[in-house]
Amino acid sequence: MNSSRLFLSLLVASSFLSGCQTQAAEPGQRAAKARKVAVAADDGGEFANFSQWRDVSAFIDDMVVRHGFSRPELENVLARVRFVDSAIQLMKPAPPGRPKNWAAYRARFVEPVRIDAGVAFWNDYGDALNRAEQQYGVPPDIIVGILGVETVYGRNKGNFRVMDAVTTLAFAYPDTPTRTARMEYFRGELANTLLFARESGIDPFSLRGSYAGAVGWPQFMPGSIRSYAVDFDGDGKVDLRNSPVDAIGSIANFLVAHGWKRGEPTVFPANLDASSGNGWEMFLNQGLEAKFRLDEIRTAGIRPTVEPPADMLFGLVDLQNGGAPTEYWLGANNFFAITQYNRSFFYAMSVIDLGRAVRAARGG
């Protein structure tokens, strides 16, 4: 590799904290690692002649058979792709470090810069946010929270060519226990990039995003763009990089497609009753869904401090706090809908808390 390779800036790395429907990496770990390797906003990559790789040739064959692409066309496209080593480095597992710390994580996102920017964004795009709530049932504070965590309201969208990022990760993912599955995932995203470009009539190399291929204000992966992005500003095209209104509608549509229910709450604070034994432990690590009745939860010694509706299902959310006591919450269905955006309790709670803080700062 060329010793002069460029790496992502910390802000761009932070903009992909969600992994946007990509993986369950803890954003704090990814950002900490990025601080060590990131020095620039764009990695031009290096020539690798991907079109000559055996696995790429098999991928081209599949795209020709399944989607009707021309082999010479795809060979020419993939010959233009550049290898992005910084994407490989940032996908490597972070070394073991300190225990998870919710308070420290939250402080990175629920902070004055994002709150002030969120107020300005809400003021500027209040009509679109209200329209999204009317159409999809997703409140403005949730959409504002996601956009604040993802890209600080469009400030940190990333400037990598998506084709370079997803191709590199599809065929040269680092050696990790999940390498095979992750390469398969990114090959799917490479296919989606090519399909989206064809469907939209654009040059696939015109798409810019994070080091892992996430695009625009909401950091949607190409597959999510094709499945969930909407033309919410009515200009006849989906443009998540340049249209915050499209981003607003697309986030709402994504959440509804992943289980968001109009008018339902997200979380309720809870405590553990030490006198009830360890029965509550059975509710830990039970997946990203609300599936337990309130009476089951109470019987195990989990006590909500704000009374939730008795007819809803919940999951136990544990927010580890380093050496301090763990915070516990009861996550309702809509909380777990947010985790489909990023498979992390920390992420979902930071979205909720940032949205609440912005709403409060506006006087709402």
Residue 146 has a pLDDT of 98
Residue 30, domain member (yes or no): yes
Residue 9 structure tokens: 């800036």
Separation between Cα atoms, residue 82 and residue 98, nearest integer Å: 35
What are the Cα distances from residue 263, in Å, to 47, 204, 297? 51, 39, 23
Residue 223, domain member (yes or no): no
Does 20 share its domain with 78? yes
Contact 146, 248 (CB under 8 A): no
Separation between Cα atoms, residue 144 and residue 147, nearest integer Å: 5
Contact 320, 103 (CB under 8 A): no
Residue 114, domain member (yes or no): no
Does 179 share its domain with 307? no
Does 322 share its domain with 197? no
Counting the structural domains of the chain, the total is 2
Does 212 share its domain with 273? no
Does 187 share its domain with 274? no
Domain boundary among 217, 240, 256: 217
Separation between Cα atoms, residue 353 and residue 87, nearest integer Å: 30
Does 174 share its domain with 320? no
Residue 348, domain member (yes or no): no
Residue 64, domain member (yes or no): yes
Per the DSSP assignment, residues forming a β-bridge with 314 are 292
Residue type, 136: Y
pTM above 0.85, yes or no: yes
Does 210 share its domain with 271? no
* Nearest residue to 109 via CA among 18, 2, 190, 219: 18
Residue 63 structure tokens: 């795209």
Q: pLDDT tens digits for the chain (364 residues)?
A: 433 333 223 333 333 334 445 443 444 444 444 433 333 334 567 778 898 899 999 999 999 999 999 999 999 999 999 999 999 999 998 777 778 899 999 999 999 999 999 999 999 999 999 999 999 999 999 999 999 999 999 999 999 999 999 999 999 999 999 999 999 999 999 999 999 999 999 999 999 999 999 999 999 999 999 999 999 999 999 999 999 999 999 999 999 999 999 999 999 999 998 777 777 888 888 889 999 999 999 999 999 999 999 999 999 999 999 889 999 999 999 999 999 999 999 999 999 999 999 999 999 7
Does 192 share its domain with 317? no
* CATH number of 24's domain: 1.10.8.350
Residue 362, domain member (yes or no): no
Separation between Cα atoms, residue 115 and residue 350, nearest integer Å: 12
Per the DSSP assignment, residues forming a β-bridge with 303 are 271
281 catalytically annotated: no
Q: What is the DSSP string of 172-232?
A: H--S-TTHHHHHHHHHHHHHHHHHHHHHHT--GGG-EE-TT--BTTTTB-HHHHHHH----
Residue 21 has a pLDDT of 53
- Residue holding tokens 């300005």? 120
Separation between Cα atoms, residue 164 and residue 118, nearest integer Å: 31
Does 86 share its domain with 26? yes
Residue 21, domain member (yes or no): yes
- Residue holding tokens 């990598």? 160
Domain residues for 303? 267-331
Residue 43 has a pLDDT of 53
Separation between Cα atoms, residue 338 and residue 317, nearest integer Å: 13
Separation between Cα atoms, residue 59 and residue 66, nearest integer Å: 10
Separation between Cα atoms, residue 326 and residue 353, nearest integer Å: 17
Does 295 share its domain with 203? no
- For the stretch 165-175, what's the b/e string if a residue is b when 16 or more beta carbons lie within 10 angstroms of its beta carbon? bbbbbbbbbee
* Nearest residue to 319 via CA among 278, 284, 287, 293: 284
What are the Cα distances from residue 187, in Å, to 39, 229, 301? 28, 20, 46
Which listed residue (150, 184, 289, 327) is catalytic?
Answer: 150
Does 304 share its domain with 190? no
Strands (E), the chain: 46-47, 82-83, 160-161, 208-209, 267-272, 292-293, 302-304, 313-321, 324-331
Does 32 share its domain with 92? yes
- Residue holding tokens 């432990």? 281
Q: How far apart are the first and last CA of the chain?
A: 53
Residue 122, domain member (yes or no): no
